[in-house]
């Protein structure tokens, strides 16, 4: 076999998604980062700056007006220092404490008014939101990808028009309305089968436990579970199979409502992407060679639109979170959405800044991951990075 290096151009650039170096023209051994790596590093280093900007907006909207309403000269002193301290506290996890018992559904323990760090309170509410999202995201993907692809690909009004009508109807109906309709439709069948109600979180309602001797020791405050914090996993760990089935059923109900509402948002952005791919030169050429339309749709067009679909998903993450939080409030599910709603209705503003900061971290990190996946699927984008 010949030397693989023979005939190679000195200093040739490797594939965008491949190695991390190329030989410099001067013959030295310096390593040059690939386009994909440079893009990843730039995006990763940009996240802290974006978080600081989010904190600045929150500080100007929440903290500064509160200081100004104190009507004292001292309230106007040290605003800059207060912002720097806020940034330091948020990045170091010093998010303050709370004695607001309402968040803990009546408290519990020997002294329910004892100050509790907000980080601990968030740890009670975050797993519920994650459990719903773990089921809602695959359901949304399973609906959004084929529906958007088929509707954008098809030129038949008999298929495209009904899909557009249904998704537009889903976008026009508020999530609270959709959630209420689902609750009303499922209430009696669910109650008759489980002797429970479909709302009030991912665990059975209070009366379900009271009719069976009370809460088990691994459930705190009526909704926080141990040891993982995820109701479904903890029920399986403790072999509480009836509670596990109820938790799974409630999770699937909420996840389905979230997915259906989000697909309507995603469809509006993704349909035009699939429609534009239909007229690409390589698609037209393959069609002229007799390649079946189903092969063009699912193999060629499907691969081509996947990076764009991922980018659309990254851009609509805030809308997705808004939909899920609204569903949590409609179903009285103690997740982050319900915690934000309780903060606003209870007049407690102290957790809002760390809550939004936490949500901003989730959005930015998830967008970063989606961008990397999209670039791996389409390495041509990394060459320009």
Domain ranges of the chain: 40-92, 122-348
Question: What are 273's two structure tokens?
Answer: 């992407």
Which residues, listed in sequence order, are joined to residue 220 by a DSSP beta bridge?
224
List the beta bridge partners of residue 117: 97
pTM: 0.76
Region for residue 221 given its phi and psi (left: phi exceeds 0; alpha: psi -120 to 50; beta: otherwise) = left
- pLDDT value, residue 114: 65
Alpha helices (H) along the chain = 35-58, 64-68, 79-92, 118-153, 157-172, 175-194, 206-210, 231-237, 241-277, 281-288, 293-295, 302-315, 317-330, 336-345, 352-377, 380-383
Bigger pLDDT: 121 vs 102 = 121
Query: CA-to-CA distance for 235 and 201, rounded, in angstroms?
Result: 14
Instruction: Provide the mean pLDDT of the chain.
Output: 77
Residue 62 reports pLDDT greater than 90: no
**What is the number of other CB atoms lying within 10 angstroms of the CB of residue 315?**
13
End-to-end CA distance of the chain: 36
More confident residue, 286 or 240: 240
Confidence at residue 129, expressed as pLDDT on a 0 to 100 scale: 93
pLDDT (average), residues 111-138: 84
Predicted confidence (pLDDT) at residue 132 exceeds the cutoff of 90: yes
Q: Is the pLDDT of residue 52 over 80?
A: yes
Report the C-alpha gap between 198 and 200 in whole angstroms. Answer: 7
pLDDT for 20 equals 45
Categorize the per-residue pLDDT at 368 as very low, low, confident or very high, splitting at 50, 70 and 90: confident
User: In terms of Cα–Cα distance, which of 125, 137, 249 is closest to 197?
Assistant: 249
How many Cβ atoms are within 10 Å of 91's Cβ, its own excluded?
A: 13
CB atoms within 10 A of CB 279: 8
Percent of the chain, pLDDT > 90? Answer: 17
Q: What is the pLDDT of residue 71?
A: 55
Tokens of 347: 């007049």
* Predicted pLDDT of residue 81: 67
Residue 245, pLDDT score: 95
For residue 196, pLDDT over 60 is answered with: yes
Q: Which residue has the higher pLDDT, 254 or 169?
A: 254
């Amino acid at each position: 076999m010949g030397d693989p290096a023979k005939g190679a151009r000195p200093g040739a650039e490797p594939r965008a998604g491949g190695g991390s170096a190329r030989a410099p023209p001067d013959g030295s051994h310096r390593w040059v980062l690939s386009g994909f790596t440079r893009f990843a590093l730039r995006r990763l280093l940009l996240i802290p700056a974006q978080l600081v900007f989010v904190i600045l907006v929150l500080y100007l909207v929440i903290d500064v007006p509160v200081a100004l309403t104190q009507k004292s000269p001292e309230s106007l002193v040290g605003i800059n220092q207060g912002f720097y301290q806020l940034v330091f506290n948020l990045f170091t996890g010093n998010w303050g404490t709370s004695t607001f018992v309402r968040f803990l559904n009546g408290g519990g323990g020997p002294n329910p008014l004892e100050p509790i760090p907000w980080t601990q309170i968030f740890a009670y509410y975050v797993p519920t939101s994650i459990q719903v999202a773990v089921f809602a995201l695959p359901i949304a993907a399973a609906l959004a990808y084929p529906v958007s692809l088929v509707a954008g690909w098809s030129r038949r009004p008999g298929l495209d028009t009904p899909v557009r009508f249904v998704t537009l109807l889903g976008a026009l109906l508020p999530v609270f309305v959709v959630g209420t309709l689902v609750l009303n439709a499922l209430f009696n069948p669910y109650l008759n089968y489980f002797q429970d109600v479909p709302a009030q979180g991912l665990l059975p309602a209070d009366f379900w436990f009271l009719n069976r001797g009370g809460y088990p020791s691994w459930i705190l405050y009526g909704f926080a579970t141990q040891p993982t914090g995820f109701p479904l996993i903890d029920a399986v760990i403790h072999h509480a199979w009836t509670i596990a089935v109820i938790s799974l059923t409630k999770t699937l109900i909420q996840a389905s409502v979230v997915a259906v509402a989000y697909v309507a948002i995603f469809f509006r952005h993704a349909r035009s992407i699939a429609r534009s791919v239909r007229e690409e030169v390589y698609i037209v050429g393959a069609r002229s060679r007799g390649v079946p339309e189903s092969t063009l749709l699912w193999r060629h067009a499907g691969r081509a639109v996947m990076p764009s679909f991922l980018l659309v998903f990254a851009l609509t993450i805030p809308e997705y979170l808004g939909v899920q939080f609204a569903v949590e409030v409609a179903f009285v599910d103690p997740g982050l959405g319900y915690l934000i709603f309780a903060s606003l209705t209870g007049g407690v503003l102290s957790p809002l800044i760390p809550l939004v900061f936490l949500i901003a971290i989730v959005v930015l990190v998830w967008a970063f991951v989606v961008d990397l996946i999209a670039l791996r699927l389409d390495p041509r984008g990394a060459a320009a990075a």
